[in-house]
Amino acid sequence: MTNETTITKSIAFTGFAPYDTVKLNALLNQELSAFSQKVVVLDDDPTGVQTVHDVFVYTDWSVESLRDGLEDGNSMFFVLTNSRSFTEAETAAAHQTIAKNLVEASKQSGVDFILISRSDSTLRGHYPLETEVLRTTLEQLQKRRYDGEVIMPFFPEGSRFTLGNVHYVADGDQLCPAGETEFAKDRTFGYASSNLCEWVAEKSRGAYPASGVCCITLEELRACDYDGICTKLMQVQQFGKIIVNAIAYEDVKSFTIALLRAMKRGKNYLFRTAAALPKIIGCITDRGLLSRDELVNTANTNGGVIIVGSHVSKTTRQLEMLRKLDCVRFIEFNQHLVADGSAFHAELDRVVSETDNAVASGTTVAVYTRRERFDLNNGNKEDELRMAIKISNAVTSIIARLKVRPNFIIAKGGITSSDVGTKALRVKKALVLGQILKGIPVWLTGPESRFPDMPYVIFPGNVGNDDALYDAVTIMQPERNGLN
């Protein structure tokens, strides 16, 4: 493993040629105008809609839902798999079914597609399992063969950048190699390599050696060497891996121009990316952040609910900042009781009762799991995941058991927000309204859901500065409770 060190962003990002953005956008629009395939994004937690608006997200992958998405007038739709909370066996089975149903839906609708596996910008998730299963299943069912896999974890809204093939997580002006962050120490999805070529080799256990990875450099992108990049893409075979460096959205646009030209010449790719590429290839325009008027229901006098399940340090700091709002009541849920069935259920009953009473009285409540993680420490990753799911199900049930409709719901953490959306709110199809803050999306729940037409804020655990949760609650909190 290459030993990478923290570098300064303001220095590292200098020296690269600027783009002629007018020419860049014109070329991109020209290529996109000839691109007719529907963009289908499989999202391993609901935070992948961080960069889009006015598109639909489906929470199941039946043939009917997939056909509905393919036939919709938008250029793209999302399917929430929530696979980051699955075991490997569950993940493989789900992706095999998705691929089969998508092929059938495509036949029924007559709409062709490209498939993006949207995952964590800090490199956590079932990789390479998900894209390997998709590739194998799709190739069995279609004549199409996939020449390569595009890997692009760049996500500026979350301060994730790729430079010199090394993926970084920014904190202010400091760029920390991803392999040295707390995310790389994840008990289920941990890794050691920050260099993405080495990360591919590590995660594939040598099946795809670092020396064989195709790398698209910033220098090539900034030179707008579309022919040269296209030639490199055309040479990739047998599901070879393609690393794309990027520090700005213009880099994504530059790559997309060359990518579309390679695809026009008959090459096929699967994609493992963060949320930036779907925005560009899905033709999503920029829009401002959602306003209070677009989100707050002033006719509802009940309080809101903030559910905090994520345990990354950023979430804990954000929770501490939220405590500055004296209009919010804080209720701790002690998940450490999970090993004692009766005590755990009693604790859950207490939290549900206190939350329901507070919300009905007009008070906004922040329910949070005890900040110290509960770990089995038995060395079995799947046992750890199952225990986390049991805790997540309990947290989710707090929303499911509410007797009154909250004024709003904010869920903090990818798995938490997915479970609240699908299991507690029973959402089948939601409209992505946009973002309340940079990288923090909002769904509008569908008519089939438990609380129809409710803006539901999906707050990733690893996104935002320390004030972000405070700011989001301040926006959502009705003015009658003393906030401007």
Q: Which domains does the chain have, with CATH numbers?
A: 7-281 (3.40.50.10840), 292-481 (3.40.980.20)
- Beta carbons within 8 Å of 475's beta carbon, 6+ residues apart: 291, 292, 295, 436, 437
Nearest Cα residue to 280 out of 261, 245, 262, 253? 253
Nearest Cα residue to 365 out of 392, 399, 400? 399
- What is the rounded distance in angstroms from the CA atom of residue 75 to the CA atom of residue 377? 45
Task: Specify the amino acid at residue 26.
Answer: A
Q: What is the pLDDT along the chain (484 residues), one digit of tens a residue?
A: 445 788 999 999 998 999 999 999 999 999 999 999 999 999 998 888 999 999 999 999 999 999 999 999 999 999 999 898 888 999 999 999 999 999 999 999 999 999 999 999 999 999 999 999 999 999 999 989 999 999 999 999 999 999 999 999 998 899 999 999 999 998 889 999 999 999 999 999 999 999 999 999 999 999 999 999 999 999 999 999 999 999 999 999 999 999 999 999 999 999 999 999 999 999 999 999 999 888 987 788 899 999 998 777 888 899 999 999 999 999 999 888 887 889 999 999 999 999 999 999 999 999 998 877 666 666 666 666 677 778 888 988 999 999 999 999 999 988 888 889 999 999 999 999 999 999 999 999 999 999 999 999 999 888 889 999 999 999 998 665 444 3
